[in-house]
Structure 1
Amino acid sequence: MKHFEIYTPETAPSPAAETLQALKEKLGFAPNVFAVMGGTPGGLSAFVSLNQNFGETSLSATEREIVQIAVSVENGGAYCVAGHTSFARKQGVADEIVEAVRTRGRIADPKLAALHEFVRRVTVKRGKLAEGELEAFLAAGYSDAQVQEVILGICVKMFSNLADNLLGFPLDDAFVPYRWDPSEAQPRADADAIAA
């Protein structure tokens, strides 16, 4: 695999340098997913904006992390699963929810379970859902606007999952305790139905 430079606020071109510095101040470090994009200021700016916009949706922190981890699991995005496990824990998302999403397990809360399933289906089927699948999500208590918010979250993670799968970001030290391997996500009995 080709080596891609991991930029820092000191080595990235402007305005990426300022963006990386702001991330470092906010998070305590500039995660490698952002740092690798530091050589492409337009790409970094777009990715940061997508993340900020998704963070401003009506979805709760738990719901946003379900979206981001679930998409990453379906795409085999090991870096992003580890990173968002770390972020979920820092935001107080229940461990059992995080573990269920990382393993394609079941979430006990029916509304959150419906979100998890909807995200998985939209991701795997690229939005081409069967009749009734969107309605099931709405019937769980989500709004039409939240359908669009989930799509935004999926787009955020598709961006970083594609970059990670192609470029192979090394895990940041903060994410190492949450390392994830795709083999942890067991096939679900309904996998064939989702893929159909």
Structure 2
Amino acid sequence: MSRIAIPAIESATGATADVYAQVKKVAGGSIPNLFAALGYLAPASLSAVLNAEGALGSASLSRQDLETIKLLVSELTGCDYCVAAHNLLGKMAGLSPDVLRQIRAGQPTGDARRDALVRFVRVIQQTSGTLPAAEVDAIRAAGYTDAQLADISLAIALTIFTNTFNRINDTDVDFPPVR
């Protein structure tokens, strides 16, 4: 059970009700547990996340690239909620169950461009300080533009935020479990 108790979604008022309505439009009428808790506690923060996700959705990375990043960051962070969510969203974006498993395990997927993205994100997440020029050169050589490097950065940052909140809250997973 999540650590932070929230009132029934239907009882929300003010900014919380407004952001819940925004989520329902995007999520087809439902509100995932993460968004329910965050919207109750910090509706402006949830609104910022939704706006940033909207920017990513219309940016230069494909849905498959975004889900690759989000799944890998969630795996490396140890957020079971986001791993389950991005495993499902990755399938919806067209990534096969085998590719999703390979991304999580750090194994080659058979797609050189995706493998370069996985390597790059892994290096960012597992090191500190300025990245070596060779790492930036490698992701560029795989076909990623400088604008996409900015989008990769935003995708990582948003995922770390939701991962961190879920780890604090121990948010109840409301997506199919990942084995």
Scaled by the length of structure 2, what TM-score is found?
0.89
Matching residue of 2:73: 71
Superposition RMSD on alpha carbons, in Å?
2.0
Alignment CA distance shift 1:117-1:6 (3 Å) = farther
2:152 and 2:5 map into 1 onto residues whose CA distance is 31
2:43 to 41, 44, 52: 41
Counterparts of residues 1-196 of structure 1 (less than 5 Å): 3-6=3-6, 9-28=9-28, 29-39=30-40, 40-126=42-128, 128-172=130-174, 175=175, 177-179=176-178
Alignment CA distance shift 1:43-1:7 (3 Å) = farther
Classify the secondary structure of the residue corresponding to 2:10.
coil
Letter in 1 for 2:37: V
Alignment CA distance shift 1:7-1:34 (3 Å) = farther
Higher relative contact order (CA 8 A, sep 6+): 2
Residue 93 of structure 1 deviates from its aligned partner by 2.0
2:177 and 2:73 map into 1 onto residues whose CA distance is 17
The number of aligned residues is: 177
1:77 and 1:159 map into 2 onto residues whose CA distance is 11
Measured against aligned partners, the alpha-carbon deviations of 1:13-70 in whole angstroms (never above 9, x if no partner) come to: 4222122233234324111111111121111111111221121211111111001101
1:91 and 1:127 map into 2 onto residues whose CA distance is 32
Identity of aligned residues (%): 31
CA contact (8 A) 1:8 1:17 kept: no
Measured against aligned partners, the alpha-carbon deviations of 1:91-140 in whole angstroms (never above 9, x if no partner) come to: 22222221111222222110110011111111222563223111111011
1:58 and 1:159 map into 2 onto residues whose CA distance is 21
After the TM superposition, list the runs of 4 or more consecutive aligned residues in structure 1 that deviate by more than 4 angstroms. none
Letter in 2 for 1:132: A
Classify the secondary structure of the residue corresponding to 1:15.
helix
Structure 2 unaligned blocks of 5 or more: none
2:58 and 2:11 map into 1 onto residues whose CA distance is 30
Scaled by the length of structure 1, what TM-score is found?
0.82
Q: Which moved more, 1:23-32 or 1:63-72?
A: 23-32
CA contact (8 A) 2:61 2:148 kept: yes
